[in-house]
Amino acid sequence: MTHRHREVSRIEGFSDAVFAFAITLLVVSLEVPKTFHELIETMRGFPAFAICFALLFQVWWRQYRFFRRYDIDDSHVIVLTGMLLFVVLFYVYPLKFVWSLATAGVMGRSISNDVIAVQQVPTLFTIYGAGVTAVFALLALLYRHAFVERERLALTAEETLDARVQVYSNAAVATWALVSIALAQVLGRTAPHLVGLAGYVYGGIGLSEWALGTYRRRAGERLTDSRTDRLAAPRPLP
């Protein structure tokens, strides 16, 4: 894949600053522990921080690849990027809250009704899923814009294929989040004790990524075979 954009644009620099600030907000504690007990309590928050960091890094990586692959920063890209950064900052605390709850049992902490009641769990899944949907839908729109502008960007057939696959990939993640929201709402009304199953829906992301990886490999092989056939075809005599 060609890296077309050699210099970091202002919108890229601003994006990096926002992501850095978002990661700062995830830090377990801004204060240095003064006692061993405080140190242990801080360390118990490490798994949640690590997961949140990895998820934010994935979003940053997908956006980074967009700017590296496509030399485009028109008003359309700026608006979509601004919306993406807004959502990322807004959802930092919900992200941290969800994964703090998810890792509480592993770290030997109990969750009381004062933290979250059973009837509030579907709403929490909805809030989290809405953030995931918004982030990856915006990423899908960014890649779709590059795909639409493929002639102006002079993309090769392989680069065009990659843009299309990235649209599908990000749209698939957003779709899994919508499925999780729907399942959480249904189970919240019919079987509240099973509402946690809505979280396992996100495991489908691995399946969609595997399917898209297979599609990308086969489509790339067809492009290579087609290019080889054209080169091997006999040329007409003058």
50 Cβ partners below 8 Å, 6+ apart?
A: none
Would you say residue 4 lies in a domain? no
Sign of CA dihedral 63, 180, 205, 199: positive
Q: Is the pLDDT of residue 231 over 80?
A: no
Q: What is the CA radius of gyration of the chain?
A: 22
Would you say residue 195 lies in a domain? yes
Average pLDDT over residues 3-19: 79
Would you say residue 93 lies in a domain? yes
- Report pLDDT for 101: 87
The count of domains in the chain is: 1
Burial of 44: CB neighbours in 10 Å, binned 0-12, 13-18, 19+: middle
- Its pTM stands at 0.88
148: helix, coil or strand?
helix
Would you say residue 5 lies in a domain? no
- Report pLDDT for 30: 62
Burial of 88: CB neighbours in 10 Å, binned 0-12, 13-18, 19+: buried
- Report pLDDT for 237: 46
193 Cβ partners below 8 Å, 6+ apart?
A: 118
Average pLDDT over residues 68-82: 91
Domain containing residue 135: 10-232
Average pLDDT over residues 75-103: 93
- Report pLDDT for 140: 98
Portion of the chain with pLDDT greater than 70, in percent: 86
Would you say residue 147 lies in a domain? yes
- Report pLDDT for 61: 96
Output the average pLDDT for the chain.
87
Would you say residue 153 lies in a domain? yes
Query: pLDDT digit string (tens) for 179-206?
Result: 999 999 999 999 988 999 999 999 999 9
Would you say residue 89 lies in a domain? yes
Q: Is the pLDDT of residue 141 over 50?
A: yes
Would you say residue 238 lies in a domain? no
- Report pLDDT for 26: 85
Query: pLDDT digit string (tens) for 108-135?
Result: 666 666 678 888 899 999 999 999 999 9
- Report pLDDT for 46: 86
Query: pLDDT digit string (tens) for 143-155?
Result: 999 999 999 999 9
The closest alpha carbon to 56, from 89, 101, 83, belongs to 89
